[in-house]
Each structure stands twice: as structure tokens, then as C-alpha cells.
């Protein structure tokens, strides 16, 4: 229906404007006034499509989580091709060079937004937990074909990779880390896991 298309277009216009503000100016700059100004629409438009600003933010975060689905599919399908560490480094760069880091900060510092998200997302920060699920699924697929050892715990490795990458990217205002830096993090996590399985480093 035409009205459905119009509503979807307005929502997407506002979501894309939120991306630009977060990437350019950070979470503290994302206000309802800044959003509608960036989107080039009247403030009333926001309130016609969302109950309030926190409702907008919650739906925006969940929409960005949903947008990770194609990336998750591509990573899962990469199992058995290339080097595992390279695949993981590419996936981490794709996650953390998107708006994900700013969304984490946004969720962390807005109590009402966290409360709204808890209604549909019971634990964790949605972007990071979805990324961890994506990587855990990929590692499990590699494990099934023998490229990750049978005694490895894919979910634990995924959480370690997401946490380590987040620390690498957090609070950066300049150039993001290069591929070599991300690959070093991946190698460190995978090597530590291997060392643990074999009784520690020698």
C-alpha cells in the first residue's frame, strides 16, 4: 500500500539520519531536534511514527541488528574457505567500522532506552550480542568441518573476540585500526585458546 511505503521511507530516512549523527558527532549529539534537522523533516514527523524519542531509539537499534543478517549469512557460508583468522578479522572490521560502537555507547548511557530494549531483548547490548552469535555460529560451522578443534567452545571464543575487538575500537576519534591490528587480536584469542587446551604456554 502507498501509505505503508511512505511510512517505511520516513522510518528509514530517520534511521539513516541517526547513523550519520552517531558516526559524525557521537551518541551525545543524537537528540530529537538534531535527528529531525539531519533528516530534513519537521519534528512532528518523528512523533507521528514513534510514541516518543526512546521508542524511536529502541526501534532504530533493533533495525540495525536486523541489518546484520546478510553479514551473518555471508560469514556462515565462508566456512571452509580462506583462512579462519582472516574471515574473523574481516567480520570484526565490518561490525566495528559500522555504527555499532556508537550504538553500544548510546545504549550504555540511556537508561530508558535499555529498559525499552529489555522488552524484546532480555540480556546484553543487542548489536554486540548479535555479533557474538554470528561469530559463534561461524566458528561452530568451522568446527564441524575440522578447521576448529572439537574441544573448542565457539561461544566463548566469540565472546572473547567481540570483547577484544570492542576494546580495540572503543573511544577512537581518528583512524580505525588497520587489518593487521585486528588480525593480531584474532590470532591472540585463537592462540590463547589453543594454549589453554594444551595445558598453557611453554
Position 5 pLDDT exceeds 70:
no
pLDDT tens per residue across span 46-81? 989 999 999 999 999 999 888 888 999 999 999 999
State how far the Cα of 183 lies from the Cα of 103, in Å rounded to an integer.
23
The CATH number of whichever domain residue 140 belongs to comes to: 1.10.357
Classify residue 28 by its DSSP letter. Answer: G
pLDDT tens per residue across span 76-107? 999 999 999 999 999 999 999 888 888 888 98
Check residue 196 and give its pLDDT.
47
Co-location of 33 and 119 in the same domain: no
Check residue 54 and give its pLDDT.
92
Q: Which residues contact 197 (CB under 8 A, 6 or more apart)?
A: 149, 151, 152
The parent domain of residue 127 ranges over 63-197
Co-location of 107 and 35 in the same domain: no
Cell of 52: 516518543
CA-CA-CA-CA torsion for 58, 64, 66, 68, nearest 10 degrees? -150
Co-location of 28 and 96 in the same domain: no
When mean pLDDT is compared across 2-6, 129-133, 172-176, the lowest value belongs to 2-6
Q: Taking residues 157-177, what's their average pLDDT?
A: 85
State how far the Cα of 45 lies from the Cα of 165, in Å rounded to an integer.
37
Check residue 97 and give its pLDDT.
87
Co-location of 131 and 44 in the same domain: no
Co-location of 104 and 77 in the same domain: yes
Co-location of 45 and 116 in the same domain: no
Classify residue 176 by its DSSP letter. Answer: P
State how far the Cα of 85 lies from the Cα of 74, in Å rounded to an integer.
15
Closest by CA position to 152, among listed 102, 103, 190:
190
Co-location of 161 and 189 in the same domain: yes
Q: Is 189 within a domain?
A: yes
pLDDT tens per residue across span 114-155? 888 888 776 667 888 899 999 999 999 999 998 988 889 999
Co-location of 71 and 119 in the same domain: yes
Count structural domains, the chain: 2
Q: Is 202 within a domain?
A: no
Co-location of 74 and 156 in the same domain: yes
Q: Taking residues 4-10, what's their average pLDDT?
A: 60
Q: Is 178 within a domain?
A: yes
Co-location of 15 and 97 in the same domain: no
Amino acid at each position: 500500500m502507498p501509505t505503508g511505503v511512505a511510512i517505511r521511507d520516513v522510518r528509514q530516512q530517520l534511521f539513516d539520519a541517526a547513523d550519520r549523527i552517531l558516526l559524525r558527532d557521537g551518541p551525545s549529539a543524537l537528540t530529537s531536534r538534531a535527528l529531525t534537522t539531519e533528516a530534513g523533516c519537521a519534528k512532528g514527523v518523528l512523533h507521528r511514527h514513534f510514541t516518543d524519542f526512546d521508542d524511536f531509539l529502541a526501534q532504530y537499534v533493533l533495525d540495525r541488528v536486523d541489518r546484520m543478517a546478510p553479514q551473518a549469512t555471508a560469514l556462515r557460508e565462508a566456512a571452509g574457505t580462506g583462512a579462519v583468522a582472516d574471515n574473523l578479522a574481516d567480520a570484526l572490521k565490518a561490525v566495528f567500522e559500522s555504527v555499532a560502537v556508537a550504538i553500544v555507547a548510546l545504549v550504555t548511557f540511556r537508561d530508558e532506552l535499555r529498559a525499552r530494549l529489555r522488552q524484546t531483548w532480555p540480556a546484553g547490548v543487542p548489536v554486540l550480542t548479535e555479533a557474538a552469535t554470528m561469530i559463534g555460529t561461524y566458528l561452530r560451522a568451522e568446527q564441524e568441518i575440522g578447521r576448529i578443534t572439537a574441544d573448542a567452545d565457539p561461544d566463548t571464543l566469540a565472546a572473547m573476540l567481540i570483547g577484544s575487538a570492542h576494546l580495540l575500537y572503543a573511544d577512537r576519534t581518528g583512524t580505525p585500526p588497520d587489518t593487521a591490528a585486528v588480525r593480531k587480536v584474532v590470532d591472540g584469542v585463537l592462540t590463547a585458546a589453543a594454549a589453554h587446551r594444551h595445558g598453557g604456554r611453554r
